[in-house]
Structure 1
């Protein structure tokens, strides 16, 4: 099932690939030695650039396949569907009033990663689908229905170990879509509306020195190690699990706020908009 709707189809956007990524700092493999000595080391995410090739494109903030203003069946929300993944937005010179060129991507060490989303919809009559494909969408790695939460908040989608493993050095496309016409049985195919987010996930091998540090690190130290080495999904998932275990720990909340800052900001989104939302699965 091919669900992806690429937002970089325009030749102009692809031509600007080198321009878009000139401002993204190449992450050096920094290993925080102090993280082994103190569990309370501050989390600092170092964003890694995407290898040469097709720009990742994507959408971090929920929008519609037809129009964000025609969300048939979806209730109005203050904060839309958000993918917890780093992104960049770049406006073309002289076209600051036009939609920006957006790229959404993150690295993982995991063969079967976990992705996190903020979902504002609780309508149980709506349906949601998560899909993971290889880069050219020729192979469906994983597809599943996603149950919407009983209250707005953070949800996880974990790729089962029984599914095809992500290979180190490769990139993959993920998609989370909410069918906003599920509650409207009379809607015709031409008026169906899907609110969706999508992006790229890249798997990279762990260097031996980092692997050695991770082997003896506490969960808190692992968050710092993953973050400083640019492994967004591993840092986020490890910290999310800690926060669910100790929801009232102020140090973990502060780390969560700092890590989410690594997503980036835009004219319509700042990480503080969602940092205090609850975990609902």
Structure 2
């Protein structure tokens, strides 16, 4: 062994011993310094483009990925406006070939945590001044709640919330909703059209409640989508989009969500808030389990 190598080994030995002694001494005389808590992300996702405001306190926001609940598509739902009563296949179009369509998955079914959810419908018919919204417990039962929505006559996605004066949605129950209106179409100057959907209110699990409690609004939208709660994911993003029209991240999330239900072409359409007023012709005191005589004509539905 050369003298240089011996010196090197000796130096390493002398340096290593004190370090070990110091570490043992500190461990024995001082309280242990807490290590940083390991963060378990709520989900893995690419957050580089989300900005500093999109980090959760305990992880990162999920990707805007809608996971449909394992529920059979309901009979009696059609997200595209069709003639009422339906006597042909396909939806009614505007003169320039556009359809009115509820912003829903193609099944026409959605879930919500809200007692008074918000509904969004793309309305391309500028001739429509009023629409009638109703709730019932089955496709052919008499509606237990009905309200009138005053439209602006502008093309875009109309947004309205079930008023607090209406009977609240009960957790675990499914409801059928309808939106009827008359419009000038490519076939008629006064055609009665209807959109039908089904909505279910559910309860949030303890885990979901904890995730939502620490999430900013944009993260909440992603969490709703990941858990199959379409109506709340859509509503949250719509609110953010209206409040932050120049935010490219929110616009990207909005476009991504609509693309997943084959409605990406509507991503650039304006969102128009409208109000609804209870229809005096129908009582709101009926319970959701009550049924009336049924519609005057038994409607058929698109599958």
TM-score (norm 2): 0.64
How many residues matched? 218
Task: Point out the more displaced range, 164-173 or 129-138.
Answer: 129-138
The alignment status of 1:279 with 2:299, answered yes or no, reads: no
Paired with 2:56 and 2:147, the residues of 1 have a C-alpha distance of 38
Matches within 5 A, 1:127-138: 127-135=130-138, 138=141
Partner of 2:118: 114
The alignment status of 1:48 with 2:69, answered yes or no, reads: yes
Partner of 1:233: 231
Matches within 5 A, 1:1-281: 32-33=42-43, 36-37=56-57, 41-50=62-71, 55-65=74-84, 66=87, 76-87=95-106, 103-123=107-127, 126-135=129-138, 138=141, 140-180=143-183, 193-263=191-261, 270-281=262-273
* Distance verdict in 2 for CA 1:40–1:249, change over 3 Å: farther
Gaps of at least 5 residues in structure 1 are 1-30, 88-102, 182-186, 264-269
Partner of 1:97: none
Query: Is the partner of 2:271 in helix, strand or coil?
Result: coil
Query: Is the partner of 1:212 in helix, strand or coil?
Result: helix
Task: Point out the more displaced range, 164-173 or 192-201.
Answer: 192-201
Paired with 1:68 and 1:152, the residues of 2 have a C-alpha distance of 24
* Distance verdict in 2 for CA 1:215–1:141, change over 3 Å: farther
Paired with 1:139 and 1:33, the residues of 2 have a C-alpha distance of 44
CA-based RMSD of the aligned residues comes to 2.9
TM-score (norm 1): 0.69
Query: Is the partner of 1:256 in helix, strand or coil?
Result: helix
1:171 to partner: Cα distance: 0.4
* Distance verdict in 2 for CA 1:162–1:127, change over 3 Å: closer
1:61 to partner: Cα distance: 1.2
Please tell me whether Structure 1 or Structure 2 has the larger radius of gyration of its CA atoms: 2
Q: Residues 241-268 of structure 1: CA distance to partner in whole angstroms, max 9, x if unpaired?
A: 00000111111111001111232xxxxx
Paired with 2:190 and 2:254, the residues of 1 have a C-alpha distance of 36
Paired with 1:70 and 1:218, the residues of 2 have a C-alpha distance of 38
Contact 1:56-1:200 within 8 A present in 2 as well: no
Paired with 2:145 and 2:157, the residues of 1 have a C-alpha distance of 21
Contact 2:136-2:175 within 8 A present in 1 as well: yes
* Distance verdict in 2 for CA 1:114–1:168, change over 3 Å: same
Partner of 1:90: none
Gaps of at least 5 residues in structure 2 are 1-40, 45-54, 274-303
Query: Is the partner of 1:280 in helix, strand or coil?
Result: strand
Contact 2:74-2:108 within 8 A present in 1 as well: no
1:148 to partner: Cα distance: 2.2
Paired with 1:135 and 1:32, the residues of 2 have a C-alpha distance of 37
